[in-house]
Amino acid sequence: MKHIPPPYEDQSFSMTRMLVALVVTIGALSLYTYFFPQQPIQPKENVAQVATHNAPSTASKVTQASTSPQNDLLLVVKAKDFDIEFDTLGRIKQVFLKNKKFITPKQESLLAKLFGVQDKQEELKALPLLQEDGIRPLEVRFADVTLNQKAFEVRYSTAQKEIILDDQPVSFVLEQKIGEVVLRKHLTIKPNMSFEITTSLEGSNSVYFLTNGSRPIADSDQYAFLGTIVQKEGGSLEKLADGDLANEEMTLKHAVFASSVDRYFTTLLYSKEGFEVIVDGKIASSSPIAFVRIQDTANIGGYIGPKNYDALKAIYKPLGDVVEYGMITFFAKPLFSLLELLYGVCGNWGWAIVLLTIIVRLVLFPLSYKGMMGMQKLKEIAPQMKELQTKYKDDPQKLQAQMMALYRKNGANPLGGCLPLLLQIPVFFAIYKVLYCAVELKSAPWIGWIHDLSAIDPYYVLPVFMGVTMYISQIMTPTTFTDPMQEKVFKLLPVFFMFFFIIFPFPAGLVLYWSVNNILSIIQQMIINRIVEKQKSGKVK
């Protein structure tokens, strides 16, 4: 006869085993990522040859002098919080952020200080966003091979060398004369770091291409999405991570925007009327490069700076999609909007996380209450269940039937405690992505020693507190273990999680969320325990 597993093994697919499986999976993935980190792909040298009339090409490179970063400064636009440098080929050479939020170094963790695994960082005067030897934003490439080669040998001219940007936009013209051909870039730069560019070409009918350049490198953390995002007609996104389009091209007609991103920053071009984008993976192996195809003239918007969700939407609503949280974006964005609303109420991102945790627990309370009461019923019938297991240990089918009858009689569900946990998992990952990717939380303090909620707690106070509160919550929660080994593993989970959050650089804001969630679980369990006691004493029917 085929062996039928006893029902108490089915029961082990309850909250405990699911949680253990989740922990082991996360731990294994994290250990692999920690010991075998993704190696950055070395970029190829800049090239400036165009082979066809449809897309930029890497057939050959121009002379080193034409793309050398030395002594090629044409114009500087200076604002209170940023500087934008233009080179002699009419491209954006560098963008420097001067706001204290971006130049304050991350706090070193205690382990990093003790073992020297992190170099001590000093406060910068300004944070450079762009790669020195990358493809520079606003670079133009021509479909005409001869014209393109000449264009990289002729300097642009402009009427000014330095422009001060206060609270009003500033405009200027960059002009390049290539024999009888004249290319002009009419630029208007605004205080919010957005810009408008109108390009015009005289003396030639050649197709040409304008790029938003290589992605920023100010924060190229390997756990964030690094690459190019293009919004297609209809609103769907084409996401191409570094290395995804190696030695290939992709054409996207009627695109809304083309954005190159790192963890916190972006360089992008957009058009409300739509434009044709060619994403080229042959120019730089490190990241796909997006080009906008232009015939004669074009009016295009752009932005280079932090991926601030509200700021991007204020420039043009679809640009909010530049802020991307992966597969869970659909859930993370509303969660961030709620978090931002709470921040507007209390004025502190840490307390906003506390309020968000309370709201999430209140929303899930009916299901959590039902699940906890179900666990209480399982605890009450545990002695009877053990008797059945002993009585019918040689007859698995009979044992299963008797246990199901016992469940029905007492209104118990062995999987009843799983639903609240399952509902909290997407919330947990959404909050993790929000705290990790939202530039609004960069350098955001909470209290005392927590100066940056997007970075690890430097003294590990929150991870230890999280482990303690998790342990207290566990011992207060009814359990129905039949396997001693399973019970031991369950008791070790708080210790595992505590060291997990210490070893790996989880944001302090995420650990704060988990700690507050544990406190609320303790309070909720205290209330349920009191209700159960009253029911037993006959005070509550």
| Residue-level pLDDT, tens digit, the chain, 541 residues | 444 333 333 333 333 444 444 454 454 444 434 444 444 434 433 434 443 445 565 333 433 334 444 458 999 999 999 999 999 999 999 999 999 999 887 766 666 556 555 555 666 899 999 998 899 999 999 999 999 999 999 999 999 999 999 999 999 999 999 999 999 999 999 999 999 999 999 999 999 999 999 999 998 887 789 999 999 999 999 999 998 887 889 999 999 999 999 999 999 999 999 999 999 988 865 689 999 999 999 999 999 999 999 999 999 999 999 998 888 888 899 999 999 999 999 999 999 999 999 998 898 888 777 777 777 777 778 788 888 888 888 888 888 888 888 888 887 777 766 666 677 788 888 888 888 899 999 999 999 999 999 888 989 999 999 999 999 988 887 665 656 777 777 788 888 889 888 887 788 999 999 999 999 989 988 888 888 788 777 654 5
Query: What is the pLDDT at residue 412?
Result: 76
Query: What is the pLDDT at residue 122?
Result: 65
d(CA 395, CA 397): 6
All residues at 6 or more sequence positions from 362 whose CB lies less than 8 Å from its CB, including other chains: none
d(CA 60, CA 49): 6
Query: What is the pLDDT at residue 480?
Result: 59
| Residue with tokens 């996401």, as numbered in its chain | 239
Query: What is the pLDDT at residue 482?
Result: 59
Which is nearest to 223 in space by CA: 519, 515, 4, 432?
432
Cβ neighbourhood burial of 401 (10 Å; 0-12, 13-18, 19+): middle
Query: What is the pLDDT at residue 7?
Result: 36
CA–centroid distance for 13 within its chain: 32
**Domain 38-103+119-324 belongs to what topology?**
Beta-galactosidase; Chain A, domain 5 (2.70.98)
N-terminal to C-terminal alpha carbon distance within the chain? 47
d(CA 455, CA 457): 7
Which is nearest to 49 in space by CA: 189, 143, 124?
143
Which is nearest to 285 in space by CA: 214, 364, 336?
214
Query: What is the pLDDT at residue 113?
Result: 57
d(CA 283, CA 466): 47
d(CA 507, CA 456): 5
Query: What is the pLDDT at residue 55?
Result: 54
Query: What is the pLDDT at residue 460?
Result: 92
Gyration radius of the chain's alpha carbons: 29
d(CA 502, CA 95): 35
pTM of the model: 0.81
Query: What is the pLDDT at residue 197?
Result: 98
Query: What is the pLDDT at residue 106?
Result: 72
| Residue with tokens 């060291």, as numbered in its chain | 499
In the chain, where does the domain assigned CATH 2.70.98.90 lie?
A: 38-103+119-324
Tokens of 39: 């190696």
Query: What is the pLDDT at residue 52?
Result: 43
CA–centroid distance for 261 within its chain: 11
Query: What is the pLDDT at residue 71?
Result: 57
